[in-house]
Chains A and B, each alone.
Chain A
Amino acid sequence: MTGPDWLTLSIMLPLFGAVAAFILPRAAAGLGLATVAATTLCVLMMADRVAAFGAVTVPLGGWGAPLGIELRADGLSVAMLALTGMVGLLVSVSAIDAFAGDRTARQRHYFWPLWLLLLSGLNGVYLGTDLFNLYVMIEIIALAAVGLTVLGGTREALRAGLDYVYASILGALLFLLGVGLIYLQLGRLDFAGVIAAPPSAAMTAALAVMFVGLALKTALFPLHVWLPAAHANAAAPASALLSGLVVKGALYIVLRLAGYMPALTEDILTLIGLMGAGAVIWGGIQALRADRLKLLVAWSTVAQIGLIFVALARAGERGLSDSWKAAALLILAHGIAKAAMFLAAGRIKDEVGHDRIRDLDRSPIRPTLAQVTFALAAINLIGLPPSLGFIGKWQLMEGAMMAGYWHWVAITMIGTLFSVAYFSRVLAGFLRFDRVRGGPLAEHHGWSGADAAPLILAGAAVLLGLAAGPIIAFIDLGAGGAMP
């Protein structure tokens, strides 16, 4: 390793930023934004190196695995880091506006340390190659995420936050149990050791326990019960971070482990796909029934996460070496689009004064920029071309069709129909003007700088679909060693 150690820096910078924002609350916003920008710069430098040399490894402490811990950046890691950096930077920009003013001073003071700790934890997960280290990182993510959930301080948010704590701790403990079982079997916890492990009932049991823990954390049906309330009741920037980024941490670990499962048989993959299918259908039904805009968006997260698991299972055991790429694309697409959508929903709620879907078309206030953002994000989540979500779904269905697994194609289609239906509930409200009550129509109301960040995110999610070729090539970089 020559030159600056961008890997360690991308974990340490947000850590120092969090400390600085915590001890200097008045300067928290400035410090926070600067830290996120600097961290994103680190990720770009790292991307440059990975593009040039393939995977980059840093043996922390100079010991090397399995005694010490190694950080490793390959194409998939950097893609996740870049997603985190891009979404994080734009959410940060909109958080400055959302938490401006005296009324939200307390939220502002605590948002930044928590979000920066979260960034540190997420970056640590994407660079980690040691199972115990991943456990520590998901604990940091969980604590920071719970803090962000209850930031608003409302009774509903506190209630949802408590449920989230229980789910999160249980998930982490199950993961830790699996880590302990693997150590008993192998005597080491680094990825290289896990890859080389001979298949055994004990390894399958350990990985299964870990999978259940991670499924709880990423809210895979039927372990999703904590998510809708937690994501719907948080403040808008916090919701964007929770839905866009936090659930991706556990998803990424699943994706990595999927490559190492010694006995990831057809049956287990089908089971994972069925859980995903359950999420797609149940999430869709609940999103259709939701009465609040943010709750609808939260339920759509449950459905979209299910779709990512369907992508993982799309072509069975033989297709797994390619399926993870479809899942990764859907993760990237969902991360960007969902963050944009939550920010837009928050803006609409702020301007209109409520987020009851039924009454959106009665309001004379029409925050059109936020509505356009919402529509662009919906295009991406529904999967219309040329968005990144379209490419992800295309990859999913192509693989499933080639393997002859038409049932996964059908599930994807059903999920798409559901998403068209529930997003139409909202979009129809934006476009109807015949039920307006209480004053003259105020179109283009509330255009402000705060609309810029979500709009850029939503636009990026759509346009990145045009760059899908290079993105797929990039996430494949250095995958040979880690994704057998």
Chain B
Amino acid sequence: MSEPLFLFDLLLALAVVAIAAAALLVRDAFAMIVLFVVFGLLSALAWVRLAAPDVALAEAAIGTGLTGALLLKTLHHLRARGMAGWEPGAAAPRPVPRAVASLNAGLTLAVVAGLGVAILGSPLRVTGLEIAVAEAMPLSGVDNPVTAVLLNFRAYDTLMEVVVLLAAIIVVWQVERGADAAPAPSLGPIWQGFARLTLPAAAIVGVYLLWAGAEAPGGAFQGGAMLAAIGLMLLLTGLYRPHPDHRATARLLFVLGTVAFAAVALLVAGAGRASFEYPQGHAKTLILLIEGLVTISIAVTLTALFHGREPAALKGELRHDP
């Protein structure tokens, strides 16, 4: 290990812990979110250093980018609804007494220490399923082991993760109609020009991430998150305005990935093959088909999660107009 990189890793590790502590200690909600985003970016960097570029991409795109946007949107809602203590610059409410907080911290530390002793005291198995994955790779239809695990060896898990996202948007659409409308956050007209310039580039990056997933780090979740960033820009600049008439289309796009994935999984069965067992020679085609459709669903779902409510709850189109 070369000396400068070791120093970098050390600083990175310290910075991650310091930023995490700062995010917990700071009282201003906006600062908290900014620190969270910085924390996410540094964690993504740490994943790169741990030779896990797929995780790094997911952390940067979803864990940091989209989650940060969702948190900011929530803050916007809270401020618009005049929640006490959430005005700009105001301190967040502090309902937890200091004694309780310290007791919790002490107990958590004790549990973590106990776990640490138990784990470090036992011999770790350094190899997981790497050997089994390497042996099965030629049959998987793709060259990136991560994609092979996600879309072939453990496709069932991945399908169900896509379903988790579907469940999330169904719950959000259902819940949000109960709340009062808050004015949507929007950016000024200058941003529309910015959007026109950057969106095509973002679209290319998103599709590239999806396509590259077959051989290199990347894939449906990362590509979908990138494309969702476009959706966010479209919403924020007002280039796209959700309308109740779009609901049927939106619902179809939400379920597209789940349906395609599940249908392929069931239809390939038969003739001695189990569900999810792709016929030989067709694995790559089917995986790309699934990934492509899942990417669309992920992008649209993440965008809709950012928008929040089912468009029917819009009290007219007024709140977007000046």
> B-contacting residues of A (Cβ < 8 Å)?
1, 5, 8-9, 12, 15-16, 19, 22-23, 58-63, 66-69, 106, 110, 113-114, 117, 120, 124, 130, 132-133, 136-137, 139-140, 143-144, 146-147, 150-151, 153, 158, 161, 181, 183-188, 200-205, 209
Q: Determine whether the beta carbon of B175 is less than 8 Å from that of A132.
A: no
The yes or no answer to B154 lying at the interface (CB within 8 A) is: yes
Give chain B interface residues in 132-183, CB to chain A under 8 Å: 132-133, 136, 152-157, 160-161, 163-164, 166-168, 170-171, 173-175, 177-178
Other than the known A63-B136, A136-B161, A202-B121, what 18 A-B pairs have Cβ atoms closer than 8 Å?
A15-B163, A19-B258, A23-B252, A59-B274, A60-B155, A67-B153, A110-B170, A110-B173, A124-B160, A133-B157, A140-B167, A143-B168, A146-B171, A158-B175, A184-B125, A188-B128, A204-B118, A205-B115
A-B contacts counted at CB < 8 A amount to 155
- Measured in the bound complex, the distance between the Cα atoms of B170 and A113 in whole Å is 8
Given contacts A12-B265, A124-B160, A205-B119, contact A187 B128 (CB under 8 A): yes
- 6 tightest Cβ-Cβ pairs between the two chains A and B: A202-B122, A205-B118, A62-B277, A147-B171, A61-B276, A153-B178
Q: Determine whether the beta carbon of B153 is less than 8 Å from that of A68.
A: yes
Chain A residues lying within 8 Å of B170, measured Cβ to Cβ, are: 22, 110, 113-114, 117, 147
- Measured in the bound complex, the distance between the Cα atoms of B170 and A114 in whole Å is 8
Chain A residues lying within 8 Å of B48, measured Cβ to Cβ, are: none
Give chain B interface residues in 226-247, CB to chain A under 8 Å: none
- Measured in the bound complex, the distance between the Cα atoms of B230 and A134 in whole Å is 33
Q: Which of A136, A139, A186 has the most CB of B within 10 A?
A: A136
Given contacts A12-B265, A147-B170, A184-B124, contact A140 B164 (CB under 8 A): yes
Q: Determine whether the beta carbon of B178 is less than 8 Å from that of A209.
A: no
| Option from A19, A66, A114, A132 in Cβ contact (under 8 Å) with B255 | A19
- Measured in the bound complex, the distance between the Cα atoms of B164 and A323 in whole Å is 34
Chain A residues lying within 8 Å of B269, measured Cβ to Cβ, are: 5, 8
Q: Determine whether the beta carbon of B273 is less than 8 Å from that of A62.
A: yes
The yes or no answer to B262 lying at the interface (CB within 8 A) is: yes
- Measured in the bound complex, the distance between the Cα atoms of B127 and A187 in whole Å is 6
Q: Quote the shortest CB–CB distance from B22 to chain A (angstroms).
A: 22
The yes or no answer to B114 lying at the interface (CB within 8 A) is: yes
Total chain B interface residues with beta-carbon distance under 8 A: 53
Chain B residues lying within 8 Å of A63, measured Cβ to Cβ, are: 136, 153
Chain A residues lying within 8 Å of B119, measured Cβ to Cβ, are: 181, 184, 202, 205
Q: Determine whether the beta carbon of B132 is less than 8 Å from that of A66.
A: yes
> Per-position contact with A for B237-272: 1 when CB-CB < 8 Å, else 0?
000000000001001101100110010011001000
Which B residue sits closest to A212, measured CB to CB?
Answer: B111
Q: Determine whether the beta carbon of A61 is less than 8 Å from that of B118.
A: no
Q: Determine whether the beta carbon of B129 is less than 8 Å from that of A67.
A: yes
Chain A residues lying within 8 Å of B255, measured Cβ to Cβ, are: 19, 22-23
Chain B residues lying within 8 Å of A184, measured Cβ to Cβ, are: 119, 124-125
A-B contact pairs, 30 of them (CB 8 A): A5-B274, A5-B275, A8-B266, A15-B163, A15-B262, A19-B255, A19-B258, A19-B259, A22-B254, A23-B251, A61-B155, A61-B275, A67-B153, A120-B163, A124-B160, A132-B154, A133-B160, A136-B161, A140-B160, A140-B163, A147-B167, A147-B170, A147-B174, A153-B178, A187-B128, A200-B122, A201-B121, A201-B122, A205-B115, A205-B118
